[in-house]
Amino acid sequence: MEEEVTRGKAAGKEETARGTEETAKGIGKAGTTVKEGIVDSLKGINEIETEIVNLVRDTVSNTLQATGSVAGEGVNVAKDVVKGAIAAAEEVGTGLTTSTKSVAKGIIMGVSDVGGDVITVAGTTIRDTIKGAADVGGDVAVVARRTVDGVLEATKEIGGNMEEVAKVVVTGAVDAAGAIGTSAIRTVKEMMVGVVEGVKDVAGAALPKPKAQP
């Protein structure tokens, strides 16, 4: 009996020590529980986003191959895919801001797979996404930024012209917001701050440095 009590006290001290250690790190049991839950949720979101990218990419490339007119149909297919994505978000009642980045990325990659005009489709995608978000009462600025992020992420992965695509999508975002109203154009412009500059930094880092003159 005494031995059990002793073991119990020792275990209690160990538990207290662990708790103190966790607290010292700035996160206790409740914090750890929340952290683990969020990590699991975010892992799930990442998996879902990857699935959406793949779905859109395959759909776009397969549709364009079936039409036999990659150059002419790229914009139309992109428009149709954006409509489908927005309709899905509206039907479920959520997910527009989550899915738009993945949808945009999938569109660009799908068009690229079949040798389509990525720059033109990028401009169409951002305009249609913003218009669609406004029509269903979505957060236009956030949707605009996530769409641009998706387009640029795809462009980087396919080795496209980052600066040209960035100019097209940022200009397209501001133009589309302008058609909605003054407040929309202001918030979208604020969201776009740093996008082009950031792309220039990325593009510059990828370029070979000039050799020093002897």
Tell me how far CA of residue 47 lies from CA of 41, 44, 51, 53, in angstroms.
10, 5, 6, 10
- Burial class for 128, CB neighbours closer than 10 Å (0-12, 13-18, 19+): buried
Q: For residue 191, is it left (φ>0), alpha (ψ between -120 and 50) or beta?
A: alpha
pLDDT at 198: 67
pLDDT tens, position by position, 88-102 = 988 887 778 888 999
Q: What is the pLDDT of residue 183?
A: 83
Residues 158 and 112 sit within 8 Å (Cβ to Cβ):
yes
CA distances in angstroms from 167 to 72, 124, 203, listed in the order given? 22, 13, 13
143 and 127 in contact (C-beta within 8 Å)?
no
The H or E element that residue 117 is part of is: none
Indicate whether 210 belongs to any domain: no
In a domain, 13, yes or no: no
Q: How many domains does the chain have?
A: 1
- The answer to whether residue 23 is domain-embedded is no
Domain of residue 119, residue span: 31-203
pLDDT value of position 35: 84
Residue 11's pLDDT is 52
What are the residue ranges in the chain where pLDDT is below 70?
A: 1-26, 70-71, 194, 196-214
41 in any annotated domain:
yes
Can you give the pLDDT at residue 1?
Answer: 56
* Entry pTM: 0.76
CB contact at 8 A, 85 and 99: yes
Q: Which two tokens stand for residue 38?
A: 């969020």
